Structure 1
């Protein structure tokens, strides 16, 4: 069984960076991708906290990005080359939504990273998500679209309540 979330993280990161591209050249694209990858990693680890959860999503598949494409008005992709679009089946809608929430809300991102401590994915390694939690001016400029709350809202709103419930069980209904 696959207990590794790397295909899901890579595909979801790629979807986010294509839907909300970097502003600038190659360095900006790299900075934007790092921020997206950190947000997606945190979201994926929260969504699939155990090796069993990761193995199950690896077997069943995360569902793809068709609804996300529709919501954001993403352009059509060339279905003729199946290998070029195969990664799209590994995009996880909930993880994408949660990552969008984290990118748009620094306080929520800090709470989410704090919730990872003691989890199984890090394997006792120190967790550092600096570009997600404390982006500098260069990071913010590179990811202007990726961090814009109004642009992210249609995606973030999809599963925002589930993220709040995951971070503070039972409190999402009160908020």
Structure 2
């Protein structure tokens, strides 16, 4: 059975977009959404690297947005939407880190490129890794390090630890 992380990815991206909305009209909203989804996808694939991991979160659920809502100054059930139960706090935090730190984004995208999720599937994360001026403008709030810092800092250490364990090490020469 292939587990599906799409509910976690969709809900967590939606949470980020509501907490840090696009600056501009419909095109800006679309560009911001693509960036959020790419960051959340990379973060989710890092957090749940195997089909077994993804299957477990699919069965147990990721935990919801209550703590994140508090950090963003929102009520935990502000609009009564059930999708909030599929928000993953760690994935949101990691995605915020990736959106505000290009080097972390590059390392994370490279790490997921070696995982089970991309087996035989070409995927590009251009808007996350090399955003152009329109992308930057559209996601000005989402990519602003000071604004997203409360969310990013929640689990930054775990992200750094995860990436450190995945990076190839140079052999020690005596």
Whether the 8 Å CA contact 2:64–2:88 is kept in 1: the answer is yes
Q: Aligned partners of 1:2, 1:64: CA distance in 2, in Å? A: 23
Q: How many angstroms apart in 2 are the aligned matches of 1:31 and 1:139?
A: 6
SS of equivalent residue, structure 2 residue 22: coil
Measure how far apart 1:2 and its partner are. Answer: 6.5
Which residue does the alignment assign to 2:99? 103
Could you tell me which runs of 5 or more consecutive residues in structure 2 were left unpaired when the two chains were aligned: 168-174
**Which runs of no fewer than 5 residues in structure 1 stay unpaired?**
80-84
Structure-2 residue corresponding to 1:139? 135
Q: Could you tell me whether the CA contact under 8 Å between 1:2 and 1:58 is conserved in 2?
A: no
Q: Is the 8 A contact 2:111 2:166 kept in 1?
A: no
Q: After the TM superposition, which parts of structure 1 deviate over 4 Å for at least 4 consecutive aligned residues?
A: none
CA 125–163 in structure 1, closer or farther in 2 if over 3 Å, else same: same
SS at match of 2:118: coil
Is 1:120 the equivalent of 2:121? Answer: no
TM-score under structure 1 normalisation?
A: 0.91
TM-score of the superposed pair, with normalisation by structure 2: 0.91
Q: How many residues align?
A: 166
Partner of 2:156: 160
| Bigger shift: residues 21-30 or 112-121 | 112-121
C-alpha distance in 1 between matches for 2:79 and 2:72: 18
